Amino acid sequence: MLSRTASILKLKYQPAALIWSDEKPSGAVEFKPDRWGCVMFSLASVVKGRTAVFSRQSYGCWGGGVGLGFGNKYQEFPGGQECFYNFLSSGNKNSENGRAVGDKLKEAGLGEFGDDFLEGERYLKGPEHVRSYVESLPITEVPAEYVVLKPLQQADEENENVQVVTFLVDADQLCALVVLANHGRHSFNNVSIPFVAGCQAIALLPYAEALKEEPGAVVGLMDPSARKYLRRMLDRNLMSFSMPLALFKEMENNVDNSFLFRNTWQAIAGGSEEK
C-alpha cells in the first residue's frame, strides 16, 4: 500500500500499517516472551523499514498488552491492578503490599521502574483517577493470534487484515492531517488528542474508532514515557497520527482537491507540488 498523503507531506519516516494476523511473519522483530519492552521501540524499527510482531506472550509491557488489544493486562501488573493505580499516580510507598513489591523490584535490578513504582509516575492525581481511566478504556481482545506492525508500503490490503495506519509527523504535518481528516465531514471534531499510553493511541483507540459510522483519527505521543523512549531512537518533536483504515482511505481520496495544493499550505511546506 502506498500513501499519496505521506508523499505530499514528505514524511521523514515511513507510515506504519497495523495488521491482525493468525500467521507470524518471518524475520519480524519480537520481544522475548514475558520480557519487558516498549511498543515504541518496535514502532521506531518499523518506520525505518522493519516488521514487528506481538502476541499474548510477547507484548512488552502491561500497558502495551492493553494497547495492542490483548485484554486487560493491568491485572498482571506487579502487585495487581491496585498497585498499577498507585504506580500511575501517587505511588505504592504508603502501602505495605506496595513497599514489599517495590523492594523486590529493586532487588531485581529494576531501579528506575522500582523508584516509579514506589514514588509514582504521577501522570494522574490519585489512584481513583487511574481506576476511572482504566475503566473508560475500550479494552478488547483482538480476534487474532498476532498484531503485526510493518511499513505501509509493504502491506497488502488484499491479503492482509490492515486495521490502522500511523504516521509520525512534526507540527506542520500534524496540522495538515487534522485539516484533511475533517475535509470531507460535516463536523469539525474528527481528531482526538487523549491522554493514553503511546501504544494505546496507535492501536486500542483506533480500533474503537473503526467501529463508528464516521471513524476519527487519534493523535498520540502525549505519553511522556513513550516520548522519552522514542526520542532516543528517532527525533524529539514527533507526534503520532493514527487512522482506522476507512479514514485513511477517505483522506487519500480527498487529497488531490484539498488545501494541500493551495498557496497557504505551499507557503508552509516551502515549495510547490504537482498533482
pLDDT per residue over 40-87, tens digit each? 999 999 999 999 999 999 999 999 999 999 999 999 999 999 999 999
Asked whether residue 236 is assigned to any structural domain, the reply reads yes
Residues 45 and 165 in one domain: yes
Residues 77 and 52 in one domain: no
Q: Which residue has cell 488528542?
A: 193
Residues 87 and 112 in one domain: yes
Cα gap 51→16, rounded to integer Å: 9
Range of the structural domain that residue 109 is part of: 72-136
Buried b / exposed e along 165-185 (16+ C-beta atoms within 10 A): bbbbbeeebbebbbebbbbee
pLDDT per residue over 215-247, tens digit each? 999 999 999 999 998 988 898 899 999 999 999
Cα gap 4→63, rounded to integer Å: 33
State the amino acid at position 243 in one-letter form.
M
Looking at 117, 136, 155, the residue that finishes a domain is 136
Instruction: Tell me how many helices (H) and strands (E) the chain has.
Output: 13, 7
pLDDT, one tens digit for every residue, the chain (275 residues): 999 999 999 999 999 999 999 999 999 999 999 788 999 999 999 999 999 999 999 999 999 999 999 999 999 999 999 999 999 999 999 989 999 998 888 777 777 888 899 999 999 999 999 999 999 999 999 999 999 999 999 999 999 999 999 999 999 999 999 999 999 999 999 999 999 999 999 999 999 999 999 999 999 999 999 999 898 889 889 999 999 999 999 999 999 999 999 999 999 988 545 55
Nearest to 221 by CA among 208, 207, 234, 211: 234
Residues 111 and 61 in one domain: no
Instruction: Please give the pLDDT value at position 126.
Output: 97
Instruction: Give the number of other CB atoms < 10 A from CB of residue 213.
Output: 5
Instruction: Please give the pLDDT value at position 271.
Output: 58
Cα gap 154→141, rounded to integer Å: 25
Asked whether residue 80 is assigned to any structural domain, the reply reads yes
Instruction: Say if CB 216 and CB 182 are below 8 A apart.
Output: no
Residues 226 and 167 in one domain: yes
Looking at 94, 109, 136, the residue that finishes a domain is 136
Looking at 82, 105, 136, the residue that finishes a domain is 136
Buried b / exposed e along 32-49 (16+ C-beta atoms within 10 A): eeeeebbbbbbbbbbbee
Instruction: Please give the pLDDT value at position 217.
Output: 98
Number of domains in the chain: 2
Q: pTM here?
A: 0.93
Cα gap 29→82, rounded to integer Å: 32
Residues 40 and 95 in one domain: no
Asked whether residue 270 is assigned to any structural domain, the reply reads no
Asked whether residue 51 is assigned to any structural domain, the reply reads yes
Residues 59 and 169 in one domain: yes
Residues 11 and 56 in one domain: yes
